[in-house]
């Protein structure tokens, strides 16, 4: 839906990588609506006593399947919890772990279908239903992505049924357009693996993307000559002939090498400092990716 505030002020920045209780409550409301209208009856049908025709959703069967496949997710779905600081007070909003919610979103997409009336059964005062899975999935995709967008959540459900992370705007276009053709298949594969992993909703996989990018950087340094110092000098000379800019790039190369050696990126000794915050991972990835792109684009 095209909302007035979006037209006036532009859409909300989609930068939040944790799903808020507000967004989770919106997702739960969607699921409850699909349960009520029989949207899960294609996979978990409540059947009519006269002839076993599907007439709704078997809530218990759906819940049992969700709990088996989503350990840690309560059923019925919960959006509030007791206040740990005031046990007798009103319940407070809550949301499960973000990765668990995203797993659940993919699950719902896989099992939801749009119900339509096949026949009215007046005796039991209900309808016998048929189902259009493609239409139901399309509707759910639009609904859940609207929740993500309005709440500023940096994830999006794709028509493939997979949730992807929306990359920071400064990286989104360059990563989507990047084609790695360095003449070194190992380097190409490493850069492509890094790019793919960086789009994952899982922060652990995104840190793996950062590690693979730093590995690629070390390999880039040897493209011009087996001796690393000589090779990087040749590459930097090809990238920039103006002395001041050439010196700045050399400083940047040294700083990036030091970052890779200091933090828990390339080495795993106890003295390495882990990079934990997701926005720190994004920053380091963006900084190195821009530098690597410059180096491989001017060789």
Tens-digit pLDDT profile for residues 108-145: 999 999 999 998 887 778 889 999 999 999 999 999 99
180, 188 contact by CB (below 8 A): yes
pTM: 0.82
Residue 115 has φ and ψ, to the nearest 5°, of -80, 150
Mind giving me the DSSP string for 126-182? EEEEEEEHHHHHHHHHHHHHHHHHHTTBSEEE-TTS-EEEPPPHHHHHHHHH-----
- Check residue 265 and give its pLDDT: 83
- Is it the case that residue 176 has pLDDT exceeding 80? no
Tens-digit pLDDT profile for residues 212-270: 999 999 999 999 999 999 999 999 999 999 999 999 999 999 999 999 988 888 767 77
- Is it the case that residue 299 has pLDDT exceeding 60? no
236, 250 contact by CB (below 8 A): yes
222, 295 contact by CB (below 8 A): no
Distance, in Å, from the CA atom of 274 to the CA atom of 263, rounded to the nearest integer, reads 6
Comparing CA positions, the residue from 128, 150, 140, 141 lying closest to residue 13 is 150
- Is it the case that residue 298 has pLDDT exceeding 70? no
Q: List for the chain the helix, strand, coil content (%; round to 5).
A: 55, 10, 35
The label of the residue with tokens 């994004």 reads 282
């Amino acid at each position: 839906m095209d909302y007035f505030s979006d037209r006036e002020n532009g859409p909300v920045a989609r930068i939040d990588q944790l799903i808020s209780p507000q967004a989770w409550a919106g997702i739960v409301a969607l699921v409850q609506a699909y349960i009520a209208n029989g949207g899960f009856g294609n996979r978990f049908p409540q059947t009519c006593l006269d002839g076993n025709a599907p007439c709704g959703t078997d809530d218990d069967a759906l819940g049992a399947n969700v709990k088996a496949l989503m350990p840690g997710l309560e059923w019925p779905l919960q959006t509030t919890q007791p206040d740990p600081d005031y046990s007798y007070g009103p319940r407070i909003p809550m949301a499960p772990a973000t990765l668990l919610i995203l797993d659940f979103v993919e699950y719902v997409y896989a099992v939801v279908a749009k119900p339509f009336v096949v026949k009215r059964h007046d005796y039991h005062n209900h309808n016998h239903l048929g189902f259009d899975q493609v239409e139901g999935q399309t509707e759910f995709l639009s609904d859940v992505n609207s929740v993500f967008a309005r709440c500023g959540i940096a994830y999006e459900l794709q028509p493939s049924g997979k949730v992807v992370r929306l990359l920071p705007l400064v990286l989104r276009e360059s990563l989507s357009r990047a084609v790695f053709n360095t003449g070194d298949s190992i380097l190409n594969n490493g850069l492509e693996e890094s790019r793919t992993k960086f789009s994952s909703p899982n922060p652990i996989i995104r840190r793996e993307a950062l590690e693979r990018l730093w590995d690629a950087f070390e390999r880039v340094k040897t493209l011009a000559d087996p001796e690393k110092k000589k090779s990087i000098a040749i590459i930097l000379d090809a990238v920039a002939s103006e002395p001041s800019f050439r010196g700045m790039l050399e400083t940047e190369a040294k700083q990036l090498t030091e970052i890779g050696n200091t933090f828990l990126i390339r080495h795993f000794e106890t003295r390495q400092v882990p990079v934990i915050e997701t926005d720190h991972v994004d920053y380091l990835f963006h900084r190195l990716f821009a530098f690597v792109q410059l180096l491989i684009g001017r060789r």
